[in-house]
Structure 1
Amino acid sequence: MRFVVVGAGSIGLLIGSYLAQHQANVTFWVRREEQAGHLRSGLVRRPENFTYEVDSTIHIEELPTDALWIIAVKYDALPVVLSEISALPVQPDLLFIQNGIGHLSLIKQHSLGYVSFATVEHGAARIDDRTVSHNGIGPINIVENDRIAPIIQWMQDIDPQNFPITTQQNAEQLLFRKVLINCAINPLTALLEIRNGLLLENPHFHVLFRQLCEELLSNFKEYSDLLSYSDIEEVCRKTADNQSSMLVDRIKGRNMEIETILTAVLKEINQKGGTAPFLQMLETALLGINRSECGGC
């Protein structure tokens, strides 16, 4: 099996390590030659400290188009990535793994090959350019389709205990379920500057967490069969030692993914005639933090 992993953040590195563990041919497409060089010396996954052989390049023309491309970059990097991919003479099959739902409209603006979607519920942290720590086990949920069905089957055999792969039928439901989970965990951890597990362990933070979950779920009762408070709590528990991507962005002075997660959900709530004052307050607070802490981004 051949894969291109676009982006070498925590999730890209984690997925790439398990693919390489199962003897796949894995090539990372990254922005910096320094990181490409580090990855070519071996991809390390903790806590096992196993090292896996992968390739890496900064040049899109060197990437195999007969591979499945796993798009694991953040939302603000997507416009450039999609523009470069759409300019290729041969279009590869793409599997998008993003937080939020803002990427859906971006994808529609480009002429791309076959597109599929997935969500990730693992906890992972990038330690350095070639090292990732697997901090919590959760499923990778992939929208099922005939074109990539053999690849999904192959992936399900990698490590069912530590790298479970599940399939879903409905892309919209899959992505919206994940964005609601992100909405419940990421903004609070970013605002309070805490790891995920403290939302359950600290009784005061737990009150806020439950209140936010109840507000979200009450506005999307049509998803009650797909997502419950217990489901969100379980994700939080499984990633207890992890820092949310939004918190990591804040710590590193990067633009937090507010618009594609919080703003997008608030827009859906407003269109339904609902209200979400707690989520609205979190959006306003985090936008203010973005402005003051990352140079007005």
Structure 2
Amino acid sequence: MRIGIIGGGAIGLLCASYLSTHHDVTVLTRRKEQAEEIRAAGIERTMNGETFRSVVDAQTGLKGTFDLLIVTVKYHQLNDVLHELSTCPRQRILFLQNGMAHLLDLKNWVSPHELFIGVVEHGAMKVSDHAVVHTGIGLIKWGAFHHEGKSDLMDELTDGPDHFEMVYTTEWEKVLEEKLLVNVCINPLTALLHVENGQLLSNASYQHMMTCVFEEAVTILGLTDKERLWAHVVSICHQTAANQSSMLQDIVKGRKTERNAITGYLLKKAQMQGIHAPYLTFFDRSLEVLEKRQTKSFE
């Protein structure tokens, strides 16, 4: 397949690196400098101290058509991408955003495209315009947004490279909710406290705050089976103990976070249901302050 990866961040580079082993991949970036660097040097992916180089194409802007477009930009960048995609010929598009706020945008988006939604369970950290570290192996679970999934696309993506399995599911909304629960328990706290994921479990005070957020989030989402879900959050925290969350990386580098897609989305749902969520409110407002300061004081 000819695949276009929209976004040259950590997830975009990771997807391009792995998918290029089976497909013709082009990374679509905002900056000419990054596109030129990827074309010249390829993408370097490091995992467990071993580095792999992938040869991929790169360009700025959306030019031409693809068998599949994969959108990996963060939520606050999504509206600009949707505007550009609105003028493109009909294509299959897979969205890989954190949180669930983008679902509301896609439901209101009038377009001819076939839309798919996915959840990324991998850990990744971008170290340069053409290099990414694969910090944790997981899955990409994806499904059709508002139509039947195409069997040929399912076959093409299922037959993928090692360490990068893509699994089709009809229960993608449930998968998104459980990923959102993990994100809201880990990302805001690590960003505010400036700690690696594992410290949320090793410090009793941090873990208490995490359980308080967990209780608010499961209530807002209407999730049951809390024992299993909490065990899942703890398991992810253990598996990624040495990782810096993407939200912490954004704060350290003075970038806008995915606050609106995670805490912001949950607070909107809470308001609609008349649910009081003091911990989420505090985390959301604290992150907003840090974003406005564009702080680099942790570096």
**TM-score normalised per structure 1:** 0.89
Question: How far 1:227 sits from its partner (Å)?
Answer: 6.2
CA contact (8 A) 1:7 1:71 kept: yes
**Closer, same or farther in 2 for the Cα pair 1:130/1:267, shift >3 Å?**
same
Instruction: Name stretches of at least 5 consecutive residues in structure 2 with no aligned partner.
Output: none
SS of the residue corresponding to residue 222 of structure 1 reads coil
Match of 1:153?
A: 155
After the TM superposition, which of the residue ranges 279-288 and 218-227 deviates more from structure 2?
218-227
After the TM superposition, which of the residue ranges 202-211 and 5-14 deviates more from structure 2?
202-211
**Closer, same or farther in 2 for the Cα pair 1:44/1:223, shift >3 Å?**
farther
Question: How far 1:221 sits from its partner (Å)?
Answer: 4.0
CA distance in 1, matches of 2:224, 2:151: 26
After the TM superposition, which of the residue ranges 107-116 and 91-100 deviates more from structure 2?
107-116
Matches for 1:201-280 after TM superposition, within 5 Å? 201-224=202-225, 228-280=229-281
Spell out, residue by residue over 1:172-198, the C-alpha distance to the aligned partner (whole angstroms, 9 max, x if none). Answer: 333222222211111001101122222
Match of 1:53?
A: 55
SS of the residue corresponding to residue 20 of structure 2 reads helix
Question: How far 1:55 sits from its partner (Å)?
Answer: 0.4
Spell out, residue by residue over 1:81-140, the C-alpha distance to the aligned partner (whole angstroms, 9 max, x if none). Answer: 11111112x121100000122222333234241101001111100010111100012221
**Closer, same or farther in 2 for the Cα pair 1:150/1:289, shift >3 Å?**
same
Q: Size of the alignment, in residue pairs?
A: 290
CA distance in 2, matches of 1:207, 1:221: 21
CA contact (8 A) 2:101 2:260 kept: yes
Give the fraction of aligned pairs with identical amino acids, expressed as a percent.
Answer: 34
Matches for 1:1-297 after TM superposition, within 5 Å? 1-21=1-21, 23-40=22-39, 41-47=41-47, 48-61=50-63, 63=64, 65-88=65-88, 90-107=89-106, 108-143=108-143, 146-159=148-161, 162-224=163-225, 228-293=229-294
CA distance in 2, matches of 1:266, 1:43: 38
Measured on the aligned residues, the alpha-carbon RMSD in Å equals 2.2
CA contact (8 A) 2:177 2:221 kept: no
CA contact (8 A) 1:138 1:235 kept: no
